[in-house]
Amino acid sequence: MFNRVILIGNLTKDPEVRYTPSGTPVATVAIAVNSRYRSGDENKEETLFIDCVVWGKQAESCGQYLSKGRSVLVEGRLRERRWEYEGQKKSKMEVVANTLRFLSKKDAPSSGAGSGDMTPPDETSDLEPF
């Protein structure tokens, strides 16, 4: 079987970084991916909103350098999470990232003193802790 996804999109909110009980960093990065297609004589556009899970040093870099509006390239695999809430079964597809590359910055005001002095790494890659 083959399960590989490559997406380019913009962050819809700032990354959320958490730590597992064993201390491993994990970040959730929400991105919007736009697709254009032609339907008859019309050009149409659709937007997908996708959550990505990033582990390890990569997760910490996301929390440190990324913010809403930034463009990223995510490469990883699809995973379905299932749970039950108030008696109803729920599920959600998400991307578990193997590689997350920071793309060019959007022209946005800096969010604090000295934030322009930090240069993010071009690419980080980390294996999942499991």
Please give the chain's pLDDT, 130 residues, in tens: 899 999 999 999 999 999 999 999 999 999 999 988 888 888 989 999 999 999 999 999 999 999 999 999 999 999 999 999 999 999 999 999 999 999 876 444 344 444 444 455 555 545 544 4
- Residue 59 located in a structural domain: yes
Place of tokens 């005001």: 109
- Residue 128 located in a structural domain: no
Structure confidence at residue 76 (pLDDT): 96
Could you tell me the CATH number of the domain that includes residue 42? 2.40.50.140
- Residue 12 located in a structural domain: yes
Structure confidence at residue 70 (pLDDT): 94
Give the CA dihedral 61, 62, 68, 71, nearest 10 degrees: 100
- Residue 19 located in a structural domain: yes
- Residue 121 located in a structural domain: no
- Residue 14 located in a structural domain: yes
Residue among 67, 49, 59, 51 nearest 99 (CA): 59
Domain span at 38: 5-105
Count of domains in the chain?
A: 1
